[in-house]
Each structure stands twice: as C-alpha cells, then as structure tokens.
Amino acid sequence: MKNVLLIAFEYPPGKGAGVERPLSLSKYLPEFGWQPIVLTVKPTAYDFIDESRTIPSCASENLYRAFSFNAARDFSFKGKYLKILSAPDRWSTWFFDGYFKGRDIIKKHRPDIVWSTYPIATSHAIALALKKTHGIRWVADYRDPMSFHYKKTNDSTISKYIDRETIKYSDSVTFVTGHMKKLYSDKYEIYQNKFNVIENGFNDEFFNGLEPDKNDNRGIFKILHSGAIYENGRNPKIVFEGLKILKNQQKISNESFRLLFRGARAPEKYIEYAANANVLDLVEFLPSIDYRNSLIEMLTVDALLVIQGETYNNQIPGKVYEYLRAKKPIISNSPVNSAVGQFVSRFDFCFVCDTPQTVASSIDKVISGTFNYDYDISEFSRRTKAKQFANLFNTLSESSL
C-alpha cells in the first residue's frame, strides 16, 4: 500500500463543512490502495468543536497535529487585531510547526504523494515548502477559489503569491466545480493541462440508519437552510421578499409554514430583514447542532434551501450534495448560470430562483408538488470521490518527476 500525506486544517474535532472532504479521504482511500497520513492542527486552533465526529482508525494511527494560534482570538485587543497577522489566513502560524512536522513525516513514512486542501491557504503554503525542499509529488486541492479572484477588497500579496506558486509547482490541481477550473484556466492558461475536477459529495454511511424526527410537528411545512449566511453572497433578503409575496397572497401563514435557519451566526441583522419584509413570524433562527443531528434535520423537514449569490458563482456548497442525498425538494436562491444553479437544474425536484417572484413561485411549487427522487446519485458519494483521487494519485506516482 502506498502512502499519501493529507495536509488539512479542517479535521475532527474541528466543526464545519470543510471537515468532510479530508475526513472522507482518510476513511476511504485505504480501500483503493492508499494509506493516509494526516497532518492537521491541534484542537485549540478551532473556533468550534464537534466531539461527535470520529476519526477512522486507519488515520488515527498516523495523525499528526501542529500548533497554531488563532489570530482573531489570540492576538486581538478589544476585538481588533493587525491584518498582517491574518495573512494569508488567521492560522498562518500553523506554517512553522506544520512544515517541520511535515518534514519529519516525509523522513519517517516516505509518502508517495502530498495532498493539501484550500480554503485555508496555509495548508497549501506548507505543501509548497515541502515540495520545494523535498521534491515530492503534490496534489493541490481547491474547494473554493482564493478569495482575491472574486472579492476585489482582498488584495493580499501573500495570498496571491501562494496561489501563483501553488499552481506553478504542484503536479496536479483539483477543483470541486467546472466553473472553478475555468476560472483558473483563464488565469493560469499555461498550467491548465494539470487541472482536474473532483466534486464534493455526500457520505452515504452517515445517512444509513438515520430516520426523520418522529416528534416533529408535521402540521407545518418546513424549509431548512442549514449553515452560515453572509451579508455578501448568502443574504436571505430576496427569500424574505418571496415569502412576503406568498403571505400577501394568503398561501402561507405562521400556522402553516416555517423557514428555518440552522447555525446562522449573528442573526440579528437577518431578523431585522425579515421584520422589514413582514415575515418574521414565518422565520426561525436556530442554534448550531452537531453533524449527525443536522443530517436528521435534513431528513425531517419538507424542503431544503441553499443561498448562493453571484459572489460565489463558481462554487457549490458541500451541503448541496447532502441535500441531494436527503431526497427532499431543493430551492436554490442563486443565478441560473452559477455552478450550483446549473448543477441542481439536472433534477426535477430542484428549483433555481434569483428574484422575489421566482422565489415565491418555487416555494409554491414545492409546497403543492410531488416529486420523483429516483435518480442514480452514486457518482456523488464520498467513496466514489476517494476512488477518483486514488486514481489520480496512482497516475502521478507512476509518472517520472
């Protein structure tokens, strides 16, 4: 069995959607001939912890944790800290211990491949340094484009350097959407022959055995948005305006309908938006829960909502694949030509909407409709994605440096 060093900031017990890709790789790669060695951070670096997640035994035997400060927490004074301390990210101090531990791992385990994953850029910085000093084959994984590609306010010189050097020195680059691949192909045209797409997915084993919550109030039609919302890019204003239309048409009321936001941090501003649209009685903001219970909630509600504004046109949130596995109607508040809009349009139980009117129409169809969920979605399982990575690793390991 060959060895692969997985460099990932997000890993249990860290909490967040970014955990799933490296965790699933460490779980399934041994089935395809690759032994994972995981390099991540100590739990003290994380903002939030989920103790319910278990680390596969094949990974726990070769798990290395490096020390890192969290600049926003550890270097702040009255809630403020120097921007240089968060370049390229709040955990940039992970680089130092991460590099030295990575160097020791290479000496001890002699991995055939190093794999690193963004959106924590320091992960790529560590892999880049190991590539330059040890010449090891490197797969750089992008779950998001680096933010300066789509946020004009972010002009971090360090981020641009890491991005440019990553594309130049990596042996292969993987993206989670074709839109991202095109974005990078346009930017780094001479390197596009080493660009590949391996999407996110769902973990079927986590769904097996789960059932909807039988104590849930079935008299109210519930739509769930699971996860964070943002002022820029995941703003529910348009959704609230759509609810207002349906409420004025007397198609929904607080006795028959509820829109749930699970795990939306600092919801005060969004509560104000809902109140301004006169739909606050139709909306609930609920605290974060662990991963297992979040899946149960997806199975329990009547429909699922994803909000993905134009800022994130190139991305598909990982939860969309879990929505798909839950076999519930999906409402995608996103541009039709976006990555997520084009993806969900493949299924007749999904609706793409980007105006209050189309939001209202989509919700109305979901409430009144019946849908066919008999699609083969096995290509989006995490096991299938691990196999695709294993095939890529095999190709690279058999090629000459």
pLDDT of residue 123: 98
Give residues with Cβ within 8 angstroms of 222, minimum separation 6: 216, 257, 258, 259, 260, 300, 301, 302, 303
At residue 156, the pLDDT reads 78
Per-residue pLDDT of the chain (401 residues; tens, 9 = 90+): 999 999 999 999 999 889 999 999 999 999 999 999 999 999 999 999 999 888 999 999 999 999 999 887 877 766 776 777 778 999 999 999 999 999 999 999 999 999 999 999 999 999 999 999 999 999 999 999 998 887 765 557 899 999 999 999 999 999 999 999 999 999 999 999 999 999 999 999 999 989 998 887 778 999 999 999 999 899 999 999 999 999 999 999 999 999 999 999 878 999 999 999 999 999 999 999 999 999 999 999 999 999 999 999 999 999 999 999 999 999 999 999 999 999 999 999 999 999 999 999 999 999 999 999 999 999 999 999 999 999 999 999 987 66
Angle at 307 between CA 389 and CA 386, to 5 degrees: 10
- DSSP annotation of 49: B
* Separation of alpha carbons 356 and 248, rounded Å: 13
Give pLDDT, residue 154: 52
Contact 202/23 with Cβ under 8 angstroms? no
**Structural domains in the chain, sorted by start:** 2-201+381-397 (3.40.50.2000), 206-377 (3.40.50.2000)
What's the token pair of residue 38? 């995981």
Helix and strand element counts for the chain (H, E): 15, 13
Specify the DSSP element, H or E, that contains 38: strand 34-41
pLDDT at residue 153, as a whole number: 52
Please give the DSSP secondary-structure letter assigned to residue 235.
-
Using an 8 Å Cβ cutoff, are 7 and 123 in contact? yes
Strands (E) across 52-146 are located at: 63-66, 113-118, 137-142
Separation of alpha carbons 156 and 190, rounded Å: 23
Burial 107-142, CB ≥16 within 10 A → b, else e: eeeebbbbbbbbbbbbbbbbbbbbbeeeebbbbbbb
